[in-house]
């Protein structure tokens, strides 16, 4: 079962990723392709609906030029 805190944290992370993507003028599909992910999966991540592995998060952050501490 997913706690409310976990859900809120996923949504916050998704919002931060979306904001970073929009600042760069990239589409979800462009970020997904550059990170080696499926575009639908990336959309789920931005909505805060999916569990994201650290490896995939690192790949997304690299595409968006985000440092680890900036995402927290």
pTM over cut 0.75: yes
Give every residue of the chain whose pLDDT is below 50, as ranges.
none
Q: Which two tokens stand for residue 12?
A: 């916050």
The whole-number pLDDT of residue 53 equals 94
The whole-number pLDDT of residue 2 equals 61
Architecture, CATH, for domain 4-66: Orthogonal Bundle (1.10)
Q: 33 vs 1, 5, 24, 40, CA distance in Å?
A: 31, 30, 15, 11
Region for 27 from its dihedrals, namely left if φ exceeds 0, alpha if ψ lies in -120 to 50, beta otherwise: beta
pLDDT tens per residue across span 19-35: 999 999 999 999 999 99
Per-domain boundaries in the chain: 4-66
CB neighbour burial string for 52-65, b if at least 16 within 10 angstroms, e if fewer: beeebbebbbebbe
- Count how many residues are written for the chain: 72
The whole-number pLDDT of residue 39 equals 97
């Amino acid at each position: 079962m997913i706690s409310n805190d976990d859900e809120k944290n996923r949504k916050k992370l998704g919002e931060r990723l979306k904001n970073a993507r929009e600042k760069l003028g990239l589409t979800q599909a462009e970020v997904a392709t550059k990170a080696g992910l499926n575009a639908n999966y990336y959309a789920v991540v931005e909505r805060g609906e999916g569990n994201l592995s650290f490896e995939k998060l690192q790949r997304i952050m690299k595409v968006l030029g985000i440092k680890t501490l900036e995402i927290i």
